[in-house]
Amino acid sequence: MAPGAERMDGTLVSWKDSRGFGFIAPANGGDDVFVHISEFVDASRRPLSGESFTFEVGATPEGKIRARRVLAIGATLDDTPTPAKRALNLGLAGYLAVAAFAVLFALIATERDLPVWTIGLYVGTSILTFLVYADDKSAAASGRWRTPEGSLLALGLVGGWPGAVIAQRMLRHKTRKMSFQLAFWGTVALNITAFVAFSSPEFLDLVARLSQP
């Protein structure tokens, strides 16, 4: 099967939702075609094994055949939001959340004597979280062992969520799975709530008293 822009019909005969890939059996016969979640044009729902789609055949830089621009039967590229537009909207919202938290952090740090390690915690865990997301993205593409979602959520909960937001938007990773996104933003809310509580004057005074000899 040679790569080309001509659209073909096929059935999703296998799908590993946790890893975001599967195989489409072309309706006209031939070998099953690999498909990644990022190639489904409509990201409003997850694909299911047994569903029918139209797709284009493309190739990776290594020459491996894969499905491109996958659409449900009857849908067209004109009436389906493009991944670029969705990524722009989601990316803007995520970056705004990080920017708003940075402003909140700066205001609280200006008014109160926050420990120096606080900013180090957020910066350090954010860098670590970004690297973990990047490795998980690479693992998903190559079929290697994946980082458990619980670990990704835990990193965000302890302060790495700004790095997670940037990684999700820049790498287009973990943005399509609604259950993960709901859990992720729940951990963000918990982290911000904890930050506000722990940076209150009462808590900081308690820490200062306990740290005195």
Same domain, 21 and 90: no
Most confident of 24-28, 33-37, 49-53, 161-165: 161-165
* Range(s) of the domain holding residue 197: 83-211
Distance in angstroms (rounded) separating the CA atoms of residues 204 and 185? 27
* Residue that is last in its domain, among 72, 106, 123: 72
* Residue that is last in its domain, among 29, 52, 72: 72
Query: Computed over its alpha carbons, how large is the radius of gyration of the chain?
Result: 22
How many structural domains comprise the chain? 2
* Residue that is last in its domain, among 23, 41, 72: 72
Instruction: Say what the pTM is.
Output: 0.61
Same domain, 63 and 143: no
Whole-number pLDDT of residue 32: 92
Same domain, 105 and 61: no
Distance in angstroms (rounded) separating the CA atoms of residues 44 and 130? 25
Give domain status of residue 22, yes or no.
Answer: yes
Region 43-62 average pLDDT: 84
